[in-house]
Amino acid sequence: MLNINRLASWWFRPAMRRIRFFMEKPALAQDFQLRHLLHRAQKTEWGKRYGFKEIKHYDTFRERIPVSSYEQLYPFIERMMQGERDVLWPGQVRWFAKSSGTTNDRSKYIPVPKESLHYCHFQGGKDLLTLYLENTPDTRVFNGKALSIGGTHHPHEGNSRVRVGDVSAVIMQNLPAWAQWFRAPSLQVALLADWEEKIQAMIRELRNSNITAIMGVPTWTVVLLEELLKSEGKQYVQEIWQQFEVFFHGAVAFAPYRPLFERIAPGLRFMEVYNASEGFFALQDDLSRDDMLLMLDYGVFYEFIPMDELGKDHPKAYWIDEVEMGKNYAMVISTNGGLWRYLIGDTVQFTSLYPHRIKITGRTKQFINAFGEEVMVENAERAIAFACEKTGAAITDYTVAPVYLGDGNKGAHEWLIEFASMPHDLHAFGEALDRRLREINSDYDAKRQHDLALTAPLIRVLPQGTFQAWMKKRGKLGGQHKVPRLANHRQYVNDIYRLLGWEIKETPSA
């Protein structure tokens, strides 16, 4: 065991030196990334349109290139999927990550050229192991295999030479041989399209394997582990996989799920990652902290727009050398996947500078502001985690929507929650959730004063399996798909009501 770790330490030592460099000199690292991106793309259609060859400084880049949404880049991406070369990125792109997001039902297709695969996504996987080993030199993770839970891919309808799918499937299909050896299950099983069939196939294939780590989204990982425990008649995962020690998680805030994982896998370690279809962005570099190190040398140039600038015709963006701690920023990226000043939709807050660490605070379009309360996803995650802790509860999933002011009713937030373990007192759960929201969000607290604009949260307990059935009905079961957390409308809530046969009480909408 010690020899394996010594070999791994030697292998990952150059990566740790590289990471320490950009931790100490973030501006230098990011300036190099910008120059490299501009040089690589100067002969593309986009590069010629905006004169990449003449851009020598960030200020020129910021002034000359517009901030773009997906809708604005889509016509160029569509042409790339039809086989056109040198549009947003040099050469021809064969792989595209399909992402539905959580706030828009329209699929998004993100180019994943070889450079993005190797120097962003694959580099993120290597650095994940580098930083985990740095934190836990006694690890046994290299003794076995890492279980990856992903989606599937298929030929593009308009061009059979192009393939599209979940970014996890794109990565798994293209992994180098050494990484394929380290991961499980087999590609044949990992890329199955039917999620329920995949779960059962994974259990059959892996029940006698030595799984030491899992990489995945908490929601679907819980489904797999609970099915595994049920099929084997065991209480703890380590009764099946004795050396299982770490869960590398991402995509959704983990705090509400942590009690459930600790219950079914006692002593498990956790490490957070921030990766998406658009790229690999951050890693938890210190397991004693609850934030992530922004990875500054993956072929991604970062900019940050303060929330009060968002929505303006020409919002002012700041690069890594200009950001401040404690401010909410919308993240803007330019990448080696051909995304230029792309508003990814995530909001982040810096928790430290030098090194630059972040927390994901929510989505630019996923919040509730029906009454001026401006509740972000981070607020909801912290509040529900607090309520679970205070009442011994554990959740499977949840979504929140406003109850708008109408005849005979005041405004409120309606929380549809599926519990893995019920709180010992549901009323106390609601009170704790409301109290924590008021403590961390002054706008919400102001609207809750004397129940004038907002009354206490309405907690609706959903039958187990509801969210899984709803996501299946929407064609979004498994993979990278996530249950929408917050919405300013009642579309999701009413859809779940219909699924359960509950009466829909129509209320005015915004």
Confirm whether 56 is domain-assigned.
no
Give residue 406's pLDDT.
Answer: 54
Q: Give pLDDT, residue 506.
A: 56
Task: Report if residue 98 sits inside a domain.
Answer: no
Residues near 158 by beta carbon (within 8 Å), at least 6 away in sequence: 81, 82
Q: Is the dihedral of CA 261, 203, 153, 176 positive or negative?
A: positive
Integer Cα distance of 463 and 470 in angstroms: 12
Residue 476: per-residue pLDDT: 76
Would you say residue 180 lies in a domain? yes
* Geometric angle at alpha carbon 111, from 108 and 115, rounded to 5°: 150
Q: Is position 18 within any domain?
A: no
- Domain boundaries, position 394: 367-500
Q: CA 182, 185, 189, 191 torsion: positive or negative?
A: negative
Last residue of a domain, one of 259, 275, 291: 275
Residues of the chain under the 70 pLDDT cut: 1-3, 5, 9, 100-106, 364-365, 372, 405-409, 452-453, 478-480, 505-510
Which pTM value belongs to this model?
A: 0.78
pLDDT digits over 458-475, tens only?
999 999 999 999 988 888
Q: Please tell me whether residues 120 and 247 are part of one structural domain.
A: yes
What's residue 452's pLDDT? 67
Residues 239, 132 within the same domain: yes
Contacts of 161 (CB under 8 A, 6+ apart): 83, 94, 155
CATH number for position 212: 3.40.50
**Residue that is last in its domain, among 275, 309, 338:** 275
Cα–Cα distance measured from residue 250 to residue 480, given in angstroms and rounded to the nearest whole number: 10
Residues 150 and 267 in one domain: yes
Q: Under a CB-based contact definition with an 8 Å cutoff, are residues 389 and 405 in contact?
A: no
Do residue 373 and residue 270 come from a single domain? no
- Count of domains observed in the chain: 2
* Residue where one domain finishes, among candidates 275, 293, 318: 275
Q: What is residue 508's predicted lDDT score, i.e. its pLDDT?
A: 43
Asked if the structure places residue 291 within a domain, the reply is no
Predicted confidence at residue 407, as pLDDT, reads: 46
pLDDT of residue 479: 62
Q: Clarify whether residues 164 and 265 are in a common domain.
A: yes
The number of beta carbons lying within 10 Å of the beta carbon of residue 157 is 9
Q: Are residues 263 and 139 in the same domain?
A: yes
Per-residue confidence (pLDDT) for residue 105, from 0 to 100: 44
**From the CA atom positions of the chain, what is the Rg in Å?**
23
- Residues 383, 269, single domain; the answer is no
pLDDT, residue 53, reads 95
Query: Would you say residue 494 lies in a domain?
Result: yes
**Is the residue at 144 inside a domain?**
yes
Report d(CA 17, CA 131) in Å as an integer: 11
pLDDT tens-digit readout, 279-329? 999 999 999 999 999 999 999 999 999 988 887 878 899 999 999 998 999
Same domain, 267 and 403: no
In a domain, 492, yes or no: yes
